[in-house]
């Protein structure tokens, strides 16, 4: 059986390596996104580890990197592999009917959610952001609809305090094992029947945009903390520190936790640097909204942050370098 892998980034890398380990010379090709130059060109925002092309080179597997696999040129390159099976993981492009008609057996996709929940490009981030307690990996037959094919295999795992990057790494390892298992079964039996997805439970997880990282401090504390975790490592959660007589300072919030104090006597988004005499360390506390009718406000503690033009630092380091006084607050750059 001739297998061609299609994928980009750290979620795809474990699956590619698992296929190479399990099937050796049966893996005849790799299709991955072109290299992007310093983010100046529009392309995948997925993080890279070893690099798919580097893995292919080390395994002596032919690699193609078309701008679009759906063009006549891309199709010609794919067809030259004469694939029986396409295994897709976070490739980053919607596959045309012509691409899906290329393999003799079919195309399967390793998707990082419990489908039909979180169809789309950012299922890991959305699972964290929306407060799911568990997620997983679904192996599906690829159809022209977005992540809508029959489910061949599905497994779940718990979501802890993971960032999206950390959770994606765990899901990548799970997906690699599942992808190899399903591919092995297809080699032995041919393409087998899956379970249809229930359209009543479909939710979407579209590609993240930079503006998705802007923190809305009127949201409850737990939702703010989930957003911070969901936006790591990209696009990162951010806000603006408003100081009297100075322009707003853009601040990336790298880490934040729920602080066990409610209803402090300042407004939403306002900051309160608790005195070091009362606490073993300087703490940066921000007032948030609440979804409990009887609680006016909640609080979040920022643990790590990165002011514009500065390195990443702890809140203690920030408070030693920047004077935080009453009336300062976090919010959008410009009030609507």
Cis peptide bond upstream of 235, omega within 30: yes
Provide φ and ψ at 18, rounded to 5°: -65, -40
3-state secondary structure of 148: coil
pLDDT, mean of residues 208-230: 97
Is the pLDDT at 42 greater than 50, yes or no? Answer: no
Going 285 to 287 to 288 to 293, the CA torsion angle's sign is positive
Tell me, rounded to whole angstroms, the distance of Cα 198 from its chain centroid: 24
Q: How confident is the model at residue 40 (pLDDT cuts 50, 70, 90)?
A: very low
Task: Over range 153-169, report the average pLDDT.
Answer: 97
164-189 vs 12-23: helix crossing angle, rounded to 10: 30
Report the candidate in 224, 262, 186, 202 with the shortest Cα–Cα distance to residue 26: 186
Place of tokens 């911070």: 228
Q: Find where tokens 């952001």 sit.
A: 129
Q: Which of 281, 284, 234 is nearest to 257 (CA)?
A: 284
90 has a pLDDT exceeding 60: yes
Tokens of 62: 């032919």
Per-domain boundaries in the chain: 3-201, 210-331
**Tens digit of each residue's pLDDT (9 = 90 or more) over 110-146:** 999 999 999 999 999 999 999 999 999 999 999 998 9
More confident residue, 327 or 38: 327
| Segment among 173-177, 185-189, 209-213, 271-275 with least mean pLDDT | 271-275
Instruction: Tell me the C-alpha distance between 118 and 52, whole Å.
Output: 25
pLDDT for residue 288: 95
Mean pLDDT, rounded, for 177-196: 98
**What pLDDT does 258 receive?**
95
Contact 262, 297 (CB under 8 A): yes
Sort strands 237-242 and 62-64 into parallel, antiparallel or unpaired: unpaired
Confidence check: pLDDT of 43 > 60: no
Residue 187: exposed, middle, or buried by beta-carbon count in 10 A (0-12, 13-18, 19+)? Answer: middle
pLDDT the model gives residue 273:
55
In angstroms, rounded to a whole number, what is the distance separating the alpha carbons of residues 259 and 285?
8
- Mean pLDDT in residue range 297-313: 95
**Residue 20 scores a pLDDT above 50:** yes
Omega prior to 116 cis, within 30 of 0: yes
- pLDDT digits 0-9 by tens, 65-75: 999 999 999 99
From 76, 178, 140, 45, select the one nearest 31 (Cα to Cα).
76
Q: Which pLDDT score, from 0 to 100, does residue 45 have?
A: 45
Beta-bridge mates of residue 112:
none
pLDDT at 216 over 60: yes
Any idea which of 23-32, 164-173, 186-195, 285-294 has the lowest mean pLDDT?
A: 285-294
**What is the arithmetic mean of pLDDT over 28-57?**
74
Per-residue pLDDT band for 278 (boundaries 50, 70, 90) equals very low
Q: Considering all CA atoms of the chain, what is the largest pairwise distance in Å, rounded to the nearest integer?
A: 71
Mean pLDDT across the chain: 92
C-alpha pair distances (Å), 143 with each of 140, 149, 174, 222, 248? 9, 5, 23, 37, 47
For 210-331, CATH gives 3.10.25.10
Q: Return the pLDDT at 38.
A: 41
Question: How high is the pLDDT of residue 296?
Answer: 83
Q: Is the pLDDT of residue 275 over 70?
A: no
27-31 sheet: strands from edge to edge = 62-64, 27-31, 3-7, 85-89, 106-111, 134-141, 151-158
pLDDT value for 55: 97
- What's residue 323's pLDDT? 78
Is it the case that residue 39 has pLDDT exceeding 60? no
Owner of token pair 């853009």: 250
134 contacts 157 by C-beta, under 8 angstroms: yes
Percent of the chain clearing pLDDT 70 (strictly above): 92
For residues 30 and 32, give the distance between their C-alpha atoms in angstroms, rounded to a whole number. Answer: 6
Buried b / exposed e along 152-176 (16+ C-beta atoms within 10 A):
bbbeebebeebbbbbbbbbbbbbbb
3-201 falls under which CATH superfamily?
A: Formyl transferase, N-terminal domain (3.40.50.170)
Q: In the predicted model, is pLDDT for residue 44 greater than 60? A: no
SS3 content of the chain, % helix, strand, coil (to 5): 30, 25, 45
């Amino acid at each position: 059986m001739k297998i061609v892998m299609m994928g980009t980034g750290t979620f795809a890398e474990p699956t590619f390596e698992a296929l190479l380990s399990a099937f050796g010379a049966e893996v005849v090709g790799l299709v991955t996104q072109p290299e992007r130059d310093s983010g100046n060109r529009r392309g995948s925002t997925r993080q890279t580890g070893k690099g798919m092309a580097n893995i292919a080179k080390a395994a002596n597997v032919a690699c193609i990197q078309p701008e679009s696999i759906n063009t006549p040129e891309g199709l010609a390159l794919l067809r030259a592999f004469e694939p029986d099976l396409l295994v897709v993981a976070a490739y980053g492009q919607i596959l045309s009917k012509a691409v899906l008609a290329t393999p003799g057996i079919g195309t399967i996709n390793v998707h990082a959610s419990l489908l039909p929940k979180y169809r789309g490009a950012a299922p890991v981030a959305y699972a964290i952001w929306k407060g799911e307690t568990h997620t997983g990996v679904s192996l599906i037959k690829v159809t022209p609809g977005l992540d809508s094919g029959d489910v061949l295999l599905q497994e779940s795992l718990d979501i802890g305090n993971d960032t999206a990057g950390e959770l994606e790494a765990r899901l990548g390892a799970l997906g690699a094992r599942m992808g190899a298992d399903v591919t092995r079964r297809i080699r032995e039996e041919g393409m087998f029947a899956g379970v249809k997805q229930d359209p009543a439970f479909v939710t979407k997880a579209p590609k993240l945009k930079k503006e998705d990282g802007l923190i809305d401090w009127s949201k409850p504390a737990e939702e703010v903390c989930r957003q911070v975790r969901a936006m790591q490592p990209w696009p990162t959660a951010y806000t603006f520190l408003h100081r009297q007589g100075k322009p707003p300072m853009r601040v990336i919030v790298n880490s934040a936790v729920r602080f066990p104090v409610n209803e402090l006597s300042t407004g939403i988004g306002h900051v309160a640097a608790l005195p070091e005499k009362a606490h073993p360390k300087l703490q940066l506390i921000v007032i948030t909204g609440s979804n409990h009718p009887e609680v006016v406000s909640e609080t979040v503690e920022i643990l790590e942050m990165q002011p514009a033009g500065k390195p990443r630092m702890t809140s203690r380091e920030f408070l030693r370098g920047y004077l935080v006084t009453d009336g300062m607050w976090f919010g959008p750059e410009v009030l609507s």
